């Protein structure tokens, strides 16, 4: 079970995020999938929700590359610690393209049932991303 | 006292490459990336120039200059 859950999480990263093959969501993401990500205020559900959000990331960072740093699995759940890198070439969260390359890290937990993701929880360094884009100060001065 | 968080990587101000904070002294800019970075930085000015050129080419002076260029005068 553990290797299967790891493989599914890895395929989502390799094929959708890194290669832009968003259609892999139709195979690996359940229709009732829900993503819990504080960075995304609106609920993200199902394969179409995944494609919309991931497509948005890839439009803003066309060379997006996510590296899996570590994975562990228990039962039907897999946890992936990752690092994402990409160059800001399209508008992102209202920030016009800067040409800056950014590196951010995060952790995602995915629950797998019958070979598909049914629920995911992600926390990642959104403050660091905005700092690297120059959208918020990298240092606060008293 | 807890300090304000700092990102572990920062974009190089000259080329935009993501550089680990602890290794920024070792960074050497890639010329191709530096050029791409400059183009994005100046995209608004470049787009403005394109629009101004198109407008000028559509003016009487611009049309005359284009005619002269086409006929080698």
Q: What is the pLDDT of residues A16-31, one digit of tens each?
A: 999 999 999 999 999 9
Q: Which residue in A85, A39, A53, A79 sits closest to A66, CA to CA?
A: A85
Model-level pTM? Answer: 0.84
Question: What are the angstrom distances between the C-alpha of B71 and each of A6, B64, B66, B67, B68?
Answer: 68, 11, 9, 6, 5
Does any CB of chain A come closer than 8 Å to the CB of residue B21? Answer: no
Q: Do B6 and A127 touch (CB under 8 A)?
A: no
Cβ–Cβ < 8 Å for A78, A9: yes
Of B5, B10, B41, the CB nearest to A99: B41
ipTM of the complex, rounded to two decimals = 0.80
Of B4, B18, B41, the CB nearest to A101: B18
Q: What is the pLDDT of residues B30-73, one digit of tens each?
A: 999 999 999 988 887 888 888 899 999 999 999 999 999 999 87
In whole angstroms, give the CA distance from residue B64 to residue B70: 10
Does any CB of chain B come closer than 8 Å to the CB of residue A89? Answer: yes
Does any CB of chain A come closer than 8 Å to the CB of residue B39? Answer: yes
Q: Which residues in chain B are contacts of A64 at CB distance < 8 A?
A: none
| Residue in B3, B4, B6, B7 to test binding to A, most A beta-carbons within 10 Å | B7
């Amino acid at each position: 079970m553990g290797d299967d859950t790891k493989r599914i999480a890895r395929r989502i990263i390799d094929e959708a995020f890194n290669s832009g093959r968003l259609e892999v969501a139709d195979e690996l993401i359940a229709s009732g999938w829900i993503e819990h990500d504080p960075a995304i205020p609106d609920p993200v559900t199902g394969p179409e929700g995944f494609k919309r959000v991931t497509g948005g990331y890839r439009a803003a960072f066309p060379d997006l590359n996510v590296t899996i740093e570590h994975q562990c699995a228990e039962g039907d759940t897999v946890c992936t610690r990752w690092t994402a890198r990409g160059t800001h070439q399209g508008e992102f969260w209202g920030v016009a393209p800067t040409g800056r390359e950014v590196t951010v890290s995060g952790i995602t937990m995915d629950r797998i049932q019958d070979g598909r993701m049914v629920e995911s929880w992600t926390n990642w360094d959104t403050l660091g991303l905005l700092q690297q884009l120059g959208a918020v100060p990298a240092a606060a001065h008293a | 006292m807890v300090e304000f968080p700092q990102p572990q990587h920062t974009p190089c101000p000259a080329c935009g490459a993501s550089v680990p904070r602890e290794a920024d002294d070792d960074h050497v800019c890639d010329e191709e990336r530096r050029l791409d970075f400059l183009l994005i930085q100046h995209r608004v000015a470049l787009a403005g120039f394109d629009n101004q050129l198109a407008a000028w080419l559509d003016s009487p002076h611009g049309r005359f200059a284009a005619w002269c260029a086409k006929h080698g005068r």
